[in-house]
Amino acid sequence: MSKLPAMSAVPFSQPLVAGTELTKIGEAIAAGHLASGGRFTDLCENWLAARTGARRALLSHSGTGALEAAAMLAGLTPGDEAIMPSFGYPTMASAVVRQGATPVFVDVEAATLNIDPGAAQAAVGPKTKAVFAVHYGAVACAIDELVEIVRAHDLSLVEDAAHGLLADYDGRPLGSFGDLSALSFHQTKNVTCGEGGALLVNDPALVERAEVIWDKGTDRARFLRGEVDRYRWIDVGSSFGASEVSAAFLYAQLEIAERMTELRRGLWRRYHEGFAQLEADGLARRPAAPSGHAHNGHLYYLILPSPLARDAFVADLHAAGIETASHYQPLHDSPAGSRFGRTVGRLVHTEQISRTLVRLPLFADLGAGSVDRVIEASYYAASRAVEASA
């Protein structure tokens, strides 16, 4: 196979702009309300609650903020433990540590890269208070099994659904299974406002305290609804809300979210069909095709046979003008993970995947031609990489 010449770059990620963002920001400015809690905040929260079935959706300055609030609402205190996959983003573990609790890292399933429910079950102990589950790439984790585990042991379940907006499992939206769930609207996510997130509160018993924690530990939400004659500081809290400017930008994105999702799903399918022979030839492994649910086309990856093959593969794609990315580095093997957390079991899949996974360009207006270019370049790069590392 001949080497492909370098061409204009195929970027790894690029946000799709709806075109109405500036108009909506202008409306927010004209209304004279730029802090959190304005009209666009309400519109976004109502949209999210309607799409996910959450009892309450609270717009946040970040997905990190949503996870930190979830750790507070889960009642984590010093001495408690929270089980989570080591293959995940650091803010999930950091949210637990901020409460004085200990993250307990377990392995993921090889097929989905999501938390292994058997490993989670084995990690449950007398100090366990919660389980944090990531839906990697908006492919649902073994949520039915996890729900059984948390119910059997009276634990809280927190879904890190940062990737998961408009994805579902068995007809139910991701983010609707846990007591609490966190979404992200970071620039790299399907729907974005640059930096942003949301907390989904599914347990009705947690709604009132969630509003208090969200608004600096006060009962301001009740005051604004006319339920109390003044608002006061009544609990621990922080300033988790997103500005009205961010909410205005986000609402423009939410208005086209379904169309954006379909574009991404189509590109994901094109990748998956295009790489069937690559996998059959043993050059790389594709993601497992989702079964029983619809993902949202958030990301597409290949897993190379070895770290050496992965590095060579990435180098050749970059030489061809195609940007790629790795993903999570194991939390249990990080400096902070070693300091603040502990590990249960052998994390074989986590360690192998983190060294061999490559994420490929995928964004709503990437275009079929660019996907085909990536597929063609990947065949050449994978063939050369596997041969060189044999």
Asked if 316 and 197 sit in the same domain, the reply is no
Q: Does 261 fall in a domain?
A: yes
Asked if 111 and 227 sit in the same domain, the reply is yes
Q: What is the pLDDT, as a whole number, of residue 201? A: 98
| Mean pLDDT of all residues in 316-326 | 96
Tokens of 11: 């970027």
47 has a pLDDT exceeding 60: yes
387 has a pLDDT exceeding 60: yes
Q: Which residues pair with 158 in a beta bridge?
A: 132, 180
Pairing assessment for the beta strands 197-201 and 180-184 based on DSSP bridges: antiparallel
Asked if 115 and 165 sit in the same domain, the reply is yes
Q: Does 59 fall in a domain?
A: yes
Indicate the average pLDDT of the chain. 95
Asked if 247 and 168 sit in the same domain, the reply is yes
Q: How far apart are CA 259 and CA 353, in angstroms?
A: 32
CATH of the domain at 269: 3.90.1150.10
Is residue 93 within 8 A of residue 84, CB to CB? The reply is: yes
Q: What predicted TM-score, i.e. pTM, was given to this entire model?
A: 0.94
pLDDT in tens, 197-221: 999 999 999 999 999 999 999 999 9
Residues 6+ apart with CB under 8 A from 226: none
Q: Does 3 fall in a domain?
A: no
Q: How far apart are CA 31 and CA 259, in angstroms?
A: 29
CA–CA distances in Å: residue 191 to residues 14, 173, 186, 240, 327: 11, 16, 8, 19, 19
Among 217, 232, 254, identify where a domain stops: 254
Q: What is the pLDDT, as a whole number, of residue 292? A: 64
Tokens of 243: 């500005």
- Place 3 in a pLDDT band, splitting at 50, 70 and 90: very low
Asked if 214 and 65 sit in the same domain, the reply is yes
Domain that holds residue 186: 21-254
pLDDT in tens, 139-198: 999 999 999 999 999 999 999 999 999 999 999 999 999 999 999 999 999 999 999 999
2 has a pLDDT exceeding 50: no
pLDDT in tens, 12-30: 999 989 999 999 999 999 9
Asked if 183 and 314 sit in the same domain, the reply is no
CATH of the domain at 32: 3.40.640.10
Exposure of 104 in the CB half-sphere (CA atoms within 13 A): 20
> Among 59-68, 259-268, 288-297, 323-332, where is mean pLDDT lowest?
288-297
Q: Per 3-state DSSP, what percentage of the chain is helix, strand, and coil (rounded to 5)?
A: 45, 15, 40
Asked if 234 and 271 sit in the same domain, the reply is no
| Mean pLDDT of all residues in 89-116 | 97
